[in-house]
């Protein structure tokens, strides 16, 4: 730490991203990326004249992409906010809607960035424990008098809560924002986007990083009332108006135009997930009920840390959280059928090595 850092960041603990190894080729099942490439349309469009226009700033409004997304989700373009990955939306939401008086609540076991943003902006926050079975008890989020943030499906559990529960949360917190983080919704979850018209306190965030195979391009979007979107635009235009580069905007448009390709990939991933869950259960694993492109699993015969390390030695990278209540588990991203076959083979070997 330099002597120039503001004391208000002195104790801030930054988010730790999943490993992105450069040293060796792994079967990479640790950061919930899609195993499939972007659609052919994305390749074609990136190969066109857009590259020659990189000398020019991108459209800070992202008008064309907003129009396409609005049509796809059945909302107005003024209900869409575009961002540099959906982390940007979370960042802006904590910045815009919270402060030392306006607190936040989120599940104790959830996306690790929520408490980091809360600390960054000195937002008092409560981490609400999950139930014994790792599900979210929606009643814990009713009448909170704070901003509510829920990943649905949740990470790293993969479990979802229903729209009835979300509506109860929305109804009981009319004066506070309810942010539903739908990063993983396309793998069998239920989206709350249909509730945006009815609830002016709802903000739904989504990403291109998972079902749309574009984690490397950094693109996210949010859907909410025009007023909430206006607030987010104010923050964006007060920090970095050009937060989405030209190539990413074009790739994002092409991805909407080839939506069927991504829906097909999501179906494949769901089918692979179900097969993998069954195979792991046959090997004695306990696997939580996932609606995401990852599963959260543990085996009474091996600790989460040893299983993670054993797989890594054999060239398969999964994610382990050294955290109370979940340290027995590992989170495994669903890859291709072939990758999951290798995962299962290496899992058998790790268990046999013991
Ligand atoms: N929300 C959740 C629940 C996530 O797990 C992640 C990333 N892993 C994100 C948001 C952010 O993803 P991105 O910034 O790539 O859109």
The candidate with the shortest Cα–Cα distance to 175, out of 117, 244, 103, 115, is 103
**Looking at residue 47, what is its pLDDT?**
85
CA angle 9, 12, 18 (to 5 degrees): 135
CA angle 202, 87, 83 (to 5 degrees): 75
Q: Is the pTM here over 0.95, yes or no? A: yes
**Looking at residue 208, what is its pLDDT?**
98
**Looking at residue 354, what is its pLDDT?**
83
Among 183, 204, 208, name the best residue to mutate to test ligand 1's pocket (greatest count of ligand atoms within 8 A of Cβ). Answer: 183
Q: Record the tokens describing residue 58, joined without a space.
A: 């991108």
Which atom of ligand 1 lies at the shortest distance from residue 156's CA?
Answer: 5
d(CA 205, ligand 1 centre) in Å: 10
Which atom of ligand 1 lies at the shortest distance from residue 220's CA?
Answer: 16
The set of residues, in sequence order, having a beta carbon less than 8 Å from that of 45 and lying 6+ positions away, is 250, 251, 253, 254
Burial of 207 (0-12, 13-18, 19+ CB in 10 A): buried
**Looking at residue 166, what is its pLDDT?**
98
d(CA 84, ligand 1 centre) in Å: 11
Q: Alpha-carbon distance 310 to 318, whole Å?
A: 10
Among 33, 94, 155, name the best residue to mutate to test ligand 1's pocket (greatest count of ligand atoms within 8 A of Cβ). Answer: 155
**Looking at residue 347, what is its pLDDT?**
98
* Residue ranges for the chain with pLDDT beneath 50: none
| Residue 181 in contact with ligand 1 by CB distance below 6 A | yes
Q: Alpha-carbon distance 34 to 39, whole Å?
A: 12
| Residue 32 in contact with ligand 1 by CB distance below 6 A | yes
Domains of the chain: 14-37+260-353 (3.90.1150.10), 40-257 (3.40.640.10)
């Amino acid at each position: 730490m330099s002597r120039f850092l503001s004391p208000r960041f002195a104790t801030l603990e930054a988010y730790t991203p999943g490993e992105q190894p450069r040293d060796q080729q792994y079967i990479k099942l640790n950061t919930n990326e899609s195993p499939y490439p972007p659609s052919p349309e994305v390749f074609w469009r990136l190969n066109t004249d857009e590259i020659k226009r990189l000398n020019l700033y991108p459209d800070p409004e992202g008008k064309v992409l907003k129009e396409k997304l609005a049509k796809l989700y059945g909302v107005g373009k003024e209900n869409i906010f575009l961002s540099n990955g959906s982390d940007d939306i979370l960042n802006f939401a904590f910045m815009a809607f919270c402060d030392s008086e306006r607190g936040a609540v989120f599940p104790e076991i959830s996306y690790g960035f929520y408490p980091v943003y809360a600390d960054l902006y000195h937002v008092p926050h409560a981490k609400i424990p999950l139930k014994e079975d790792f599900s979210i008890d929606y009643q814990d989020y009713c009448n909170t008098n704070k901003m509510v943030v829920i990943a649905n499906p949740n990470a790293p559990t993969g479990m979802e809560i229903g729209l009835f529960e979300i509506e109860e949360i929305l109804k009981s917190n009319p004066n506070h924002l309810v942010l539903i983080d739908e990063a993983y919704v396309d793998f069998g979850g239920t989206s709350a986007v249909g509730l945006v018209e009815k609830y002016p306190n709802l903000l739904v965030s989504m990403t291109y990083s998972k079902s749309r195979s574009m984690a490397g391009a950094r693109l996210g979007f949010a859907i909410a009332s025009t007023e909430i979107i206006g607030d987010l635009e104010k923050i964006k235009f007060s920090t970095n108006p050009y937060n989405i580069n030209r190539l990413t905007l074009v790739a994002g448009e092409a991805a909407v135009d080839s939506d069927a390709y991504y829906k097909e990939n999501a179906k494949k991933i769901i089918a692979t997930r179900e097969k993998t869950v069954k195979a792991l259960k046959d090997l004695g694993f306990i696997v939580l009920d996932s609606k995401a492109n990852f599963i959260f699993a543990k085996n009474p015969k091996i600790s989460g840390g040893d299983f993670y390390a054993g797989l890594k030695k054999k060239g398969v990278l999964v994610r382990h959280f050294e955290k109370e209540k979940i340290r027995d588990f590992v989170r495994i991203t669903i890859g291709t059928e072939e990758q999951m076959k290798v995962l299962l083979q290496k899992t058998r070997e790790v268990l046999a090595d013991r």
